[in-house]
Every structure is written in structure tokens, then in C-alpha cells.
Structure 1
Amino acid sequence: MFNTLISASQLQQAGNQHTVLLDCRFRLNDPDYGLAAYEAGHLPGAHYLHLDYHLSGTKNGSNGRHPLPDGQRLAVKLGALGITPDTQVVAYDDAGGMYAARAWWLLRWLGHEAVAVLDGGIQAWQQLGGELDNSTPERAATRFVMGVAQESVVTLDDIAANLCSPQFLIVDARAADRFAGENETLDPVGGHIPGAKNRFFMHNLDADGLFKSSAQLHDEWQALLDGQPVSEVVLSCGSGVTACHNKLALEHAGLPGARLYAGSWSEWCSDPTRPVATGS
């Protein structure tokens, strides 16, 4: 069972028996990109999941850009793809795991343990000679069984209360300039939640676009946390997507226990009365 990362060679060796592939390609500035890319060519047998339609819930103007989907509704969708408790699920994208990690986190949130992200994404698959397919795979619909949640969340109220009585450390996955309140193009307000630290999710990858070794990630994260227990860490970002990448890195590093603030900055800054910090 793979429950964090799977390499392209491991996926090729595993074959498709009891495996469901999820293509999660997406671009924030071009929401139609992922489906078009999928239709042009995807890993054989892969199904497409759209960040806005499948991996997020309904926005109401104050719950962030990518609120969590309804768990029961997502479970029905996953069941339609043939995912059972003994199915190995592999999610991939072409952005270093930026979007695939969201699917990985959601399946764990619903209690599915055998889910991994393809390290290096579709590029790693092709570099090993893996072929692409543009056909629509058949579906073997079943009932997705929700198990014991492997992931947990904190709420907006929890974040607000933490400002007055700190119980956990917030780690923000956005790029340093957006964290500092500069060059903000996605949200109406720039900055970060007061007291948060910054760990750009792309720092989890090496120069080849693969996740760094578990030992290197362990050392880097421990240095950032500076003695803070991982169980007292809450992961945030712009809208609860790249925070999942940091969660995946922590799990790969053998540092489990961090929670997700799903609403993240886009939810926090929707109310102008909430405090905002800027700078590094």
C-alpha cells in the first residue's frame, strides 16, 4: 500500500490491478485547462477530477475560494469511479503535486488510507516512457465506504481564538511575496494571519520537481517548527489547496499530526474586521 508518494517506476510495476488513477490537472488562471489537457492525453485508465467542481464545495463569498466539498457527495463521486477500501488510489497533476495533494488529503479525510501522489506527476511518467491515452475509461461503480478520518481540520473560529490564546502554530504555504502582502492577485487583501510562519510549498521539491528525501524534509521542517510539536501545527495557504502539499511533505518526512485550515487566507480576509499581518 502506498499512502504518501509513489514513483513513476513503482506505478508502472504495479500495473492497474486494484488501482484507480485520478488526473487532477488544473490552473488557477485557466479553470478549463485541466479537462482539456486530460482529453488530449492522460495516464491510461485515469479519471479526471476538477478542483472547482469535484474537489471543492460551494462558495458563498465568505468561506474561501476552495471550500471543502460535502463529504457524502464526494464519496458518491469516488464510488462511481470504482474506489473500494482495498483500492490503491494514485492522484497526479503536472504542477509538482500542487493539486493532486488536495485529492490525496480529501480521500484521507474520508478515511481512505491507500492513496498516494505520483511523485513528479505526468512528466515523470512520460520521462520513463509511459504512454498517454485519450480514451474515456470505463467505470465500475461501487459504494465508497467512508472510514475513520485520517485528517482533521480547524475552523475559522479556532483561528480567531488562537490569536488571543495561542494553542497552535499556523504555517502558510504561499510564496513569500504573497505571504508578505506583496503581488497579491488572487485575493482582495494581501498579507497573512498574525503569528503565522511561511513555508512555500515548492520548497518541498528538488530541482527535478520531485519531493525531497524524507530525511531532508524532516530536517527542514523541524528547523522551521523550532521545537513546536507537529500536533500543534495548522496548515494554511490561499484557499486550502497547497496547504495539502505541505501536509503531504510532513507525512513523507515521518511527521504526522498537522491539521488543515481549509478556508485559509481567502476565508480569513473576506471580513475586513479581521486582523492582517504583512512582511516576512
Structure 2
Amino acid sequence: MTDFVSAEWVSSRGDDLRVVDVRDAWEYDGLGHLPGAVNVPFDSFRADEHGAESDAGEGMLPAEDEWARLLSEAGISPESEIVAYDDHHGVFAARFLVTAELFGHDPDRLHLLDGDFSSWQLERETSSETPDVTPTDYAVQRPASTPLVGPDTVAEAANDSDTVLVDTREDEEYDAGHIPGAVLLDWRDLVDDETRGLLAREEALSVLESAGVAPEKRVVLYCNTARRISHTYVVLRHLGFERVDFYEGSLTEWEAQGRPLETN
């Protein structure tokens, strides 16, 4: 399953690991990056709300052929072990990893750096050199099942005592309008401001429990455009939650279909 890994773990893996920096190219080139990291900017794998997958109810996913091209050019194969990072507490990097999982990359080979570029550079070396990579012929092979759910499933979730529907946006956004029955869990509440990574395990579980998110329940996640739920999804899977569903269309699709919202 997709999980968090430490800077020490990344440093120890050497050439066995494909490190992916999802920051903008100017940051990658101008500010430096992790040694050996390739650059796959967030905007390059992010369709807008009218992207190729939107008619399938899959929101902001890029087209399969575009995703395959990006990974091929980055020297990534379906067998590659990947760690991704950004400079925003991991939320953009998590989106890269979730996209990879949804397009069939083995989740056991997908990792999120615990911390981000800012935390890495405080104690570890960075590089300004772009690594030479050998292009691959990456092919998307969608898995037989994924955590993706559609709006009808989401609408039913609020009435299921075994399920908790989770809005991962900020308080103000939630108060302005949320899917009926959803609880609020700002994705940033699971981030340690000092380390810029994940809270300690017991602290993270306490935050989740306070929001009504328990390991024994099925969890359905949404936000606006599926970026913030990507981080929460990786957190929950890392913590051992087994039933985590992912509403890719999120509020972009929900509102476009004229479905109801609750306000506080």
C-alpha cells in the first residue's frame, strides 16, 4: 500500500528508487532538488474540471496516454519503486502517487516522503543537476478494482452507519457548503507543522478519532478537486485503514450535477 517513508529511508535506497519531484520546473531547476530526482510538475498530470476523464465521473485524472508519456519520459517503468515529494507538506506529491495507483502502479511500490523539500534541505544535501534517465515504454494497466466511487455511492454513504463521509477542506469551505452528512477533517490537521510531515501515529489517530474517523469504519473522502483527499487517502492507508474510498469528482462534479449541499 502507498505509505510514508523517512528521509533516512530514501537516502539509503540509492539507485533502486525513482525519486519524483512534482514542484514547478523553476523550483526544481532554481532551488535545487533531491539528488537523482526527476521532475514531473503537478500541472503536467492534472486535468482541469473538464479534463479527459470527467465524463467518466473521474474528475481531474489525466488521460491515460498522457500519464504513460510522462512516466516514460521520466524513466519510470511499471516495476519502478517511486517516492514522491513537493514543498507543500506532501499534498501535491500524494496526488501523483494516487494517480499512479489508480492507473495500476503497484501501491506497495509507491511512497510519500515524510516531510517535504524544505524539511529535507535543512539537514541533507540537494542537487542542481538534472539526472540522465533512459526513457521507458510505460503502459497503463488499470487494476481490476480501485477505491474510486461515484456521486450516487457518496450520497448513500451519509445514511450508512458503517460509513463516514469525510470533507477534507478548510473550516470556512465546509461551513459554506458541504455534502449532506459529511464530517469535517481538514487534511492539514494531520500534518506536523515543525517536521512538515505526518503527525506521530498516536497523535494522528487521535485527530481522526475526534472527527469520527475510525479504522473499523468505511471512509469516503472528498474535497473540491481531489487534491487534498489524495493526502488524506495516503495517510489513512499508511495508518492501516482498510476501507478507504475516493470520490475523484468531489464537489466539482457534485455541484455540476446540481446535487444538494448543507451549510453551517
With the length of structure 2 as denominator, give the TM-score of the two structures: 0.84
Could you tell me how far apart the structure 2 residues matched to 1:50 and 1:129 are?
A: 22
**Comparing 191-200 with 53-62, which one deviates more in the overlay?**
53-62
Query: Where in structure 2 are the equivalents of 1:73-88 lying within 5 Å?
Result: 73-88=66-81
**Which structure 1 segments of 5+ residues have no match?**
26-33, 182-190
One of 155, 180, 183 as aligned partner of 1:197: 183
Give CA deviations for 1:247-268 in whole Å, capped at 9, x if unaligned. Answer: 1111222213201001111221
**1:211 alignment counterpart:** 198
How many Å apart are 1:132 and its aligned residue?
2.4
Residue 35 (structure 1) aligned with residue 22 (structure 2): no
How many Å apart are 1:88 and its aligned residue?
1.5
Query: Where in structure 2 are the equivalents of 1:223-234 lying within 5 Å?
Result: 223-225=210-212, 229-230=216-217, 232-234=218-220
- Give the structure with the higher percent helix: 2
**2:97 alignment counterpart:** 104
One of 151, 160, 163 as aligned partner of 1:156: 151
**Comparing 129-138 with 209-218, which one deviates more in the overlay?**
129-138
Could you tell me how far apart the structure 2 residues matched to 1:97 and 1:153 are?
A: 21
Could you tell me how far apart the structure 2 residues matched to 1:217 and 1:149 are?
A: 31
How many Å apart are 1:201 and its aligned residue?
0.5
Could you tell me how far apart the structure 2 residues matched to 1:150 and 1:140 are?
A: 29
Could you tell me how far apart the structure 2 residues matched to 1:61 and 1:259 are?
A: 22
**1:174 alignment counterpart:** 169
Residue 21 (structure 1) aligned with residue 19 (structure 2): yes
Give CA deviations for 1:175-218 in whole Å, capped at 9, x if unaligned. Answer: 1111111xxxxxxxxx1111111100111111311201223223
Residue 124 (structure 1) aligned with residue 119 (structure 2): yes
- Cα 1:226–1:141 shift into 2, 3 Å: closer
**2:249 alignment counterpart:** 263
How many Å apart are 1:42 and its aligned residue?
2.1
- Secondary structure of the residue aligned to 2:91 is coil
Please tell me whether the aligned partners of residues 45 and 136 of structure 1 are also in contact (alpha carbons under 8 angstroms): yes
Please tell me whether the aligned partners of residues 221 and 250 of structure 1 are also in contact (alpha carbons under 8 angstroms): no
Count of aligned pairs: 258
- Secondary structure of the residue aligned to 1:169 is strand
Give CA deviations for 1:137-171 in whole Å, capped at 9, x if unaligned. Answer: 43332334637467411112333455677874320
Give CA deviations for 1:2-53 in whole Å, capped at 9, x if unaligned. Answer: 84111112211222x121111112xxxxxxxx22212212223322223333
**Which structure 2 segments of 5+ residues have no match?**
none
Please tell me whether the aligned partners of residues 20 and 85 of structure 2 are also in contact (alpha carbons under 8 angstroms): yes
**Backbone CA RMSD of aligned residues:** 3.0
Could you tell me how far apart the structure 1 residues matched to 2:51 and 2:161 are?
A: 29
Could you tell me how far apart the structure 1 residues matched to 2:248 and 2:97 are?
A: 14
Letter of the structure 1 residue corresponding to residue 117 of structure 2: I
Could you tell me how far apart the structure 1 residues matched to 2:227 and 2:204 are?
A: 19
